[in-house]
Copies of this chain bind each other. A is one copy, B any other.
Amino acid sequence: MKQKITVLLLLISLTVFSQVKEEQLNLMPWPQNIELSEGSFMLTKNFKVNITGAPNARIFVGATNFLRRLDGRTGMFFDQGFITGLNEVPEAQLQINCVRSGKIELYDDESYLLDVTSNKITINATTDIGALHGLETLLQLLQNNSNSFYFPVSKISDFPRFTWRGLMIDGSRQFMPIDVIKRNLDGMAAVKMNVFHWHLVDDQGWRIEMKKHPKLIELASDGNYYTQEEIKNVVKYAADRGIQIVPEIDVPGHASAILTAYPEIGSKAVNVNVGSGEKGQQLKQIQTYSVERNAGIFTPTLDPSNPKTYELLSSIFDEVCPLFLGKFFHIGGDENEGKDWDSNPKIQEFKKKHNLATNHELQTYFTMQLVPMLKKHNKELMGWEEIMTKNMTKDAVIHSWRPNEDIGGQNSLANAVKGGYKTVLSNGYYIDLVYSVENHYSVDPMPKGVVLSDKEKARILGGEATMWTELASAKTIDSRIWPRTAAIAERLWSNENVTDISSLRKRLKTVSFRLEELGLTHLKSKEGLLRNISNNQKSEALLDLSNVCEPLKGYTRNKGGTEYKMYSPLTLFADVCTPDASDAILFGEAVVNFSNNKTIENQVIVVSYLNKWIKMDFDLNTLSDNAPLIQPLLPLSKSLKDISEQLLLKIDKKQNIDISVLNELLEKCNSKEHADVELAVYNSLKKLVQG
């Protein structure tokens, strides 16, 4: 078969390719400069890669992976197998040249020049990291007609706008196995992200194997943790993709897991009847903690007045720091409400003694003790924005995460850079909250309406998408991260004026599809979950419903943090649904078109959706006879069917519709009471009702 394809393709190479236009390209992040010319580079079985210069060996891994991905897409059966050294195939059609080995750190040169001519492709880059970016762009540049695959003749010069383009994954609340981490690192590399922030410790679990402090995994991990070898392996895997890893151990709050193993360094004051006499005096205060199973903000907090706290942390850092190559260590520092500090007389005394007026000052005192522990390992301290108080070292990197209104209208990002701190933005990039891609895409790390000096601007390192896992399992996390994170990657890499939403949506569709080849499950996980909900019945109707529903946004799905425990099932309809529900977007466009121009063509599209939903409701009722998990969805489906029927009558104008009835049915579509999802077509339906 292979031989035949080759012959066929050679014949076809004589045919003419139509000229590719810029708007046809599905590049993301969009490059800084792109020049398209006439002509094409035709892909054949003999396509080979050659590497020259003085790159890091990661380019051999990257180029081999590039070949396999391209071969998987095109079925070319390339002759070339593994690339393991310099100048192996001097005559190769793809020539990669790197001046020097890239460093996995901020500000190293990530630029590249990609030059496609009709018979040769060259990637020139200062570093292999830049060359890897060039290979990803080349993969995105792939075009096809009916018979063959080709690259358009083009010149692309490219470099990032921000140096910190991050993704955080919370491996504490729900443990995320190594393969989840690795495939997401591949996804990051595909959209040129370069910082993986690994949230490893929180109230719900300690996830790092500790050889000197085994109690942390024995008592506080439920057996789910990363071994040190696995961590080192992931660090290497990331470095091979140009990605640095920032580990996080969240202290002094979010400490339930640490304190489950080491209750003696907790802040909780316990009144114990110590009895009387000598024996009684020897009884110690007994504090007990347990691994948290709910979501939320909890009181367990390390005791900043206890020297043992610092001994333990210092020893932990001594063990954990060497596992990571990067320069930054994230110590959390968020959401410490200080309740246990307030109620502990010993800690109150300590505050007085050290002239620490507030809990914030006490936390700063605590955090400052960690700086030298990290410095010893050449690490800079990074923390969530709460660490930024007046005495905090200027070396610390401030991770801005809270919405402005929470901190009295002040922007912590602008404050941080004005205060002399380097900073990274995550407020607006909380992808776990399942907002639309547009929300995230519109957020720029460079604040608008604030005057900053060039020096201050330079302290804005970039941004980071944060994937918290209260409501994501290893099976669903990819669909919470992708494809929206690709849009954030574009915001952080591309020119600030690349903001067109319809272009984004169009490109994202292809980018999302291509990300799948990396093993990401954001598309295909849906099918398996639907099969479970439908009890293995053919589930077109269920798919249709999922395409107009979105999981409840923000923090509304898990009210009080107790509806879902960390072991609750994440296999239900809300877990199937995703932000940017596909049919809701298409229906929205159809309604806008119809509202603007009431042609028959536009009407037909709107009507076809309404009819589809009427049929869907019928089918779902049938399916539900043998599928208990469909029952909770029927009210949603019915609401959509009911309004659809009335809207059909309204559009048909064959019957006078009572607007109050219509409004009542419409409002039923605005419910958040069913199956933890909402109908994402509500606003479009409203337009039709009012139109």
Contact A536 B563 (CB under 8 A): no
Contacts of A302-344 to chain B: CB distance below 8 A: none
Q: Digitize A407-447: 1 where CB-to-B-CB distance is under 8 Å, 0 elsewhere.
A: 00000000000000000000000000000000000000000
Contacts of A674 in B (CB 8 A): 1
Q: Does A631 contact B (CB under 8 A)?
A: yes
Copies of chain A in the complex? 2
Q: Does A293 contact B (CB under 8 A)?
A: yes
Contact B527 A513 (CB under 8 A): no
User: Shortest CB–CB separation between residue A686 and chain B, in angstroms?
Assistant: 25
A75 touching B572 in the complex, CB below 8 Å, given contacts A1-B675, A527-B527, A531-B516: yes
Contact B77 A568 (CB under 8 A): yes
Task: Return the contact of A628 from the options B148, B510, B516, B627 (Cβ within 8 A).
Answer: B148
Contacts of A149 in B (CB 8 A): 628
Q: Does A378 contact B (CB under 8 A)?
A: no
Contact B513 A531 (CB under 8 A): yes
In the complex, how many residues of chain A place their beta carbon closer than 8 angstroms to a beta carbon of chain B? 67
Task: Return the contact of A179 from the options B61, B71, B177, B567 (Cβ within 8 A).
Answer: B177
Q: Does A52 contact B (CB under 8 A)?
A: no
A523 touching B528 in the complex, CB below 8 Å, given contacts A144-B627, A177-B179, A568-B77: yes
A146 touching B565 in the complex, CB below 8 Å, given contacts A73-B571, A179-B179: no
Contact A75 B523 (CB under 8 A): no
Contact B631 A75 (CB under 8 A): no
A1 touching B628 in the complex, CB below 8 Å, given contacts A72-B571, A222-B82, A525-B524: no
A632 touching B5 in the complex, CB below 8 Å, given contacts A144-B627, A527-B527: yes
Which of A144, A293, A528 has most B Cβ within 10 Å? A528
A1 touching B676 in the complex, CB below 8 Å, given contacts A75-B569, A525-B524: yes
Task: Return the contact of A568 from the options B71, B523, B570 (Cβ within 8 A).
Answer: B71
Task: Return the contact of A519 from the options B5, B73, B475 (Cβ within 8 A).
Answer: B475
28 contacts between A and B (CB under 8 A): A1-B563, A68-B569, A71-B567, A72-B532, A73-B532, A73-B571, A74-B628, A75-B628, A81-B293, A81-B565, A82-B567, A144-B626, A144-B627, A144-B628, A146-B624, A146-B625, A146-B626, A146-B631, A149-B628, A229-B229, A509-B536, A510-B536, A516-B532, A523-B528, A524-B525, A524-B527, A524-B528, A527-B527
With A74-B628, A145-B626, A509-B536 already in contact, 14 other A-B pairs whose C-beta atoms are closer than 8 Å: A8-B631, A61-B223, A71-B568, A72-B571, A75-B629, A76-B569, A144-B627, A145-B628, A146-B631, A147-B631, A516-B528, A517-B532, A523-B531, A524-B528
